[in-house]
Amino acid sequence: MLVLDESGATVADPDLKSGRLEERQRPVVHRYVVDVEEQSHEEVIAEYPETGGKDVEIVVDVEEQGHWETRLEDGELIEFDGVIPGDMPHELEVTDAQSYMLYTPYTDEELAEMARLEAERKRMEAEAAEREAFLSSAPARVEAAEAAQADTDDALCAVYEASLALQATVEDQDAAICALYEMTLGGE
């Protein structure tokens, strides 16, 4: 498809990173130009002597040859990439519209906004990758936490049992001290 810049010049290879394309149309006029005129002659088919009339047939010796040319409203001749129907009458100028893509360079503000959006997109992708890595390692971390919790539970149980044993020992020691004290008091 035809690509033009804002001045109407053809853009062969538009850089879509530094500009955008917008579909547009412009009015054009098609006109048939005859390259070779038709050449013909008349042949008499029948004569009528009593009236002096005759029937004639036109025989074409050389067919008319030509081509369609397309011009803008200002008269500038252009290449038309559309289709002109073959049955279009050659005597008339045909008004039509030519589709083209308008290449408009981005402004500095638009380029800055695009760079900001690209940086934001990359940041979000990095966060998503980090989150995915965190979530994919979650089962192993949960398993490790459960194992550590089991070890902590075992240690607490051991401390509790040791505390109970110590409490029993302390009670036994208290009873022995009381008995000694009572013996000491009773022995007076």
Distance between CA atoms of residues 16 and 114, nearest Å: 12
Task: Give pLDDT, residue 188.
Answer: 55
Q: What is the pLDDT of residue 82?
A: 83
pTM: 0.53
pLDDT tens readout for residues 127-142: 999 999 988 888 888 8
Answer whether residue 119 shows pLDDT above 90.
Answer: yes
Rounded CA-CA distance 101/114 in Å is: 22
pLDDT tens sequence across 57-104: 999 999 988 889 999 988 889 888 888 887 888 888 888 899 999 999
pLDDT at 163 over 80: yes
Q: Using a pLDDT cut of 90, give the percent of the chain over it.
A: 53
